[in-house]
Amino acid sequence: MSRSEVLTARVVIIGLIFLGEFGILEAGLRLFGTMESNSAFQSLFISDDRIGHRLRPGISVRYSTTEFSNDLTINGQGVRDDADIGPKGTDERRVLILGDSYVFAVQVPFSHTFGERLEVGLNASDPAQRWRVINGGVQGYGPVEEWLFYRHIASSFEPDIVLIVVSVATDAVEAFDAKAKLELGRVPDQTQVQRSRMQVRQIVRSSLVLQLARLRFDQLFARTFAGTSERPLASYLEQPPSYVVDGLLTAERAFGYVTAHARKNGAKVAFVLMPARFQLRDEEYQGIAENAEKKLLRHAANERFARALGQLDEPMLDLLPIFSPLQDPQSLYFVGNSHLTARGHRVVAEALLDFMNSNRLMVMSARR
């Protein structure tokens, strides 16, 4: 065998070993991991040129991880619900909840989500009306996508109240990244380079190993350019970088569009600030703070969003003061994925019902 043939054989053997190890690692992560690249979860989404992506209408899947296993149904209108949204009855009042994965809530059964619990509470406290709460949450949405989703899809549901759930840890960064969509009012036309990048992202999303590698790269990028272990954590820095400041302004604009559109159609709007899990766990927060190269402020993201959205002059509920005094507040969140447990959803639903009553949203919800 010639030298070149030996070299080729070695390269082939190394390649086969690499592919074998990659396959074993991929299988292991899919079996024991909690990331979201399995085919059942990915089948929930479709591309949408106006928004970027949305939930696939009329699909039902079972999504399982090591922490939970739930049946997920997307109705004909493309929202998480066991029934379609038909014509609005004369005695019906509708609450639309906009948000990201905290609202979508794949971690719990549909009946346990805070939207469904709120619907039960509203109908019990106001039997003169028939209340319908619509889950408008979509995994991966930020303020810009929530505005575009409301504009193109959810406004047709004729909500009387629009509750916007703000993920304070991520929404500033999400808004900054989607600023071009807000300027255009849709997904920008893609160049060939951008289309190639999109194809690469789709390949990465299809693999747990590649997702893990991307996560490590993002952490390295955040540490290099923001001084934190993860990019969104810059929202908690004492001196936030320019992209966080710009993202807060972009979020205020996007939510301002939702507010103006809702008001024009006779609906009320209110904001709900959703804290991150580490804000309630001393040990987790201390570990993050010690890891950061710059000073973190535990409640900075809540305070910044409260100031930014206060300019819109709508009622606002910060859930952090609701969560903090509770016994064992850590149990409000799952350990692995940092989203709300059934207990967390129950607490949020109760807080929302009290908030709506105290701000007379229910009384003033009739459309003009």
Q: Measuring CA to CA, how many Å separate 39 from each of 43, 352, 356?
A: 6, 34, 39
Per residue in 288-308, pLDDT (tens digit) is: 998 888 899 999 999 999 999
Would residue 241 count as lying in a domain?
yes
Would residue 44 count as lying in a domain?
no
Do both 192 and 102 map to the same domain? yes
Do both 14 and 149 map to the same domain? no
Predicted local confidence at residue 220, as pLDDT: 45
Average of pLDDT values for 178-202?
Answer: 67
Q: Is it the case that residue 173 has pLDDT exceeding 90? A: yes
Do both 20 and 118 map to the same domain? no
Average of pLDDT values for 257-268?
Answer: 96
Judged by phi (left if over 0) then psi (alpha if -120 to 50, else beta), residue 130 lies in: beta
Predicted local confidence at residue 5, as pLDDT: 62
Backbone angles phi, psi at 70, to 5 degrees: -140, 150
Report the domain count for the chain. 2
Would residue 220 count as lying in a domain?
yes
User: Can you tell me the distance from the alpha carbon of 246 to that of 254, in angstroms, rounded to the nearest whole number?
Assistant: 12
Name the pTM for this structure: 0.84
Predicted local confidence at residue 257, as pLDDT: 98
Alpha helices in the chain (DSSP H): 3-32, 39-42, 101-104, 114-125, 143-152, 171-177, 179-184, 192-205, 208-225, 242-264, 282-291, 300-310, 320-323, 342-358
Where residue 133 sits, what CATH number does that domain have?
A: 3.40.50.1110
Would residue 41 count as lying in a domain?
no
Per residue in 86-106, pLDDT (tens digit) is: 999 999 999 999 999 999 999
Predicted confidence band of residue 229 (pLDDT cuts 50, 70, 90): low
Tell me which residue range forms the domain holding 180: 86-358
Average of pLDDT values for 4-33?
Answer: 58
Per residue in 137-148, pLDDT (tens digit) is: 999 999 999 999
Would residue 268 count as lying in a domain?
yes
Q: Is it the case that residue 223 has pLDDT exceeding 70? A: no
**Between 310 and 12, residue with greater pLDDT:** 310
